[in-house]
Amino acid sequence: MGSIRQRIRFCEAPDGVRIAYSLIGRGPPLVMLSGGHCHLELDLESPVLGHWFSELSRRHSLVRLDTRGFGLSDRGVVDHSLDAVVSDVHAVVDALGLDRIAMLAWLGGTPFALTYANRFPGRVSHLVLHAAYLRGWLKREVGAGERTAVDALVDQVESGWDMKDPIVRRAITSSFIPDGTPAQQAWFDEALRASAFGADAARRLRTRLNSDVRDLATRIGCPTIVLNSEGDTNPVLQGAVVARLGLRRAERARAWRGGADLGGAGQRADRRAIGDQREDRAQSHHAHLREVECRDSRPGDRAGAQRGAAFHRRLTRLWGARPTAVPFPGVRRPLLGPVSH
């Protein structure tokens, strides 16, 4: 990942919160939106996340941002609502002067991406929803005991997130990379602490737990991919996503194991993640789903990079656009120079 070059800039959301963003690569713009953890600097060299950026930027102008309260953006922010985070995204898109974008939602980003796509339908050409869900935990049919346990988790995040001991953060880490190596889990534990204060992490978690975008999903009109891992503990939720999006056919992304899975146990499972994509061409005013097949990538598997490259070739064909350079404010040519902050 050392060869990746990015330049970081800042803009302001409507409420004055300063938002950090960066651009990597050349091609059709692809905005990567996280619902929680994000850090423009740390994640770029991550043994868990880094391969996503290197592969996604091969044929796209990859736009990354630290939403409010995270990474290099302003912290100690009170408002972590869906609307507030969507305003962060829109501020970045406007700062880059982008008319149309494709958007990849991951790390709990689905509710925020669907809200943005509904609010600005003319700006979103395609959606990719990774580990997608439409209702947060507290908007599902949970009993009093389970609700109390979830509330306790949020309280623990707020009070124990900043501790050096990762006991609180490990609950989040385990949900993302349950099969990760000890080194990968240790990196993620520390990255969570470095990317946000406990108060911000708790406020964002509360927003996600209480989100419900089922009605918004029915109004999505752009081509959409729904990706879920083979070991997803909530396969029924993915089915609900597909149904709400009005998609006629869907195949769960199968191959890597465990939870939301970021890198097939984080093990350089570069997302050639997409093997076959068969478009449902039925006449419909709803989104179209490209069926996907994902293959496993194990430690030392040299085919991982090839799988990643194949994934992005298919994404390029899916977008149906020729690569074009995305200008960066204040820069006379596409960002290809050395890292600068």
What's the pLDDT tens digit per position in 196-223?
A: 999 999 999 999 999 999 999 989 989 8
pLDDT surpassing 50 at residue 17: yes
Q: Is 49 part of a structural domain of the chain?
A: yes
Q: Which of 51-60, 106-115, 178-187 has the highest mean pLDDT?
A: 106-115
Q: Is 258 part of a structural domain of the chain?
A: yes
pLDDT surpassing 70 at residue 21: yes
> How far is the C-alpha of 5 from the C-alpha of 232, rounded, in Å?
33
Q: What are 8's strand-pairing partners?
A: 22
Residues of 205-241 as b/e, b for ≥16 C-beta within 10 angstroms? bbbbbebebeebbebbbbbbbbbbbbbbebeebbebb
> How far is the C-alpha of 135 from the C-alpha of 82, rounded, in Å?
13
Q: Is 45 part of a structural domain of the chain?
A: yes
Quick one: tokens of 309? 């490259």
Q: What is the pLDDT of residues 269-324, one digit of tens each?
A: 333 332 222 233 222 222 322 222 222 233 333 444 454 445 445 544 444 433 33
CA distances from 42 to 38, 155, 281, 331, 341 (A): 8, 26, 41, 24, 13
CATH number of the domain that residue 13 is part of: 3.40.50.1820
Q: Is 206 part of a structural domain of the chain?
A: no
Q: What percent of the chain has pLDDT over 90?
A: 52
DSSP per-residue string spanning 195-257: H--HHHHHHHHHHHHT-B-HHHHTT--S-EEEE--TT-S-HHHHHHHHHHTT-S------SS-
**pLDDT classification of 229: cutoffs 50, 70, 90:** low
Q: Mean pLDDT across the stretch 166-194? A: 90
- The average confidence (pLDDT) of the chain is 75
pLDDT surpassing 50 at residue 341: no
Query: What's the pTM?
Result: 0.76
Q: Mean pLDDT across the stretch 223-250? A: 65
pLDDT value at residue 132: 86
> How far is the C-alpha of 268 from the C-alpha of 183, rounded, in Å?
13
pLDDT value at residue 305: 45
Number of domains in the chain: 1
Q: Is 325 part of a structural domain of the chain?
A: no
- The residues, any chain, with a CB within 8 Å of residue 299's CB and separated by 6 or more, are 181, 267, 268
pLDDT surpassing 70 at residue 157: yes
pLDDT surpassing 70 at residue 267: no
Alpha carbons within 13 A on the beta-carbon side of 168:
21
Residue 313 belongs to domain spanning: 7-136+213-319
pLDDT value at residue 147: 93
Q: Is 160 part of a structural domain of the chain?
A: no
Q: Which of 161-165, 252-256, 316-320 has the highest mean pLDDT?
A: 161-165
Q: Is 123 part of a structural domain of the chain?
A: yes
Quick one: tokens of 221? 């009109």
Q: Is 170 part of a structural domain of the chain?
A: no
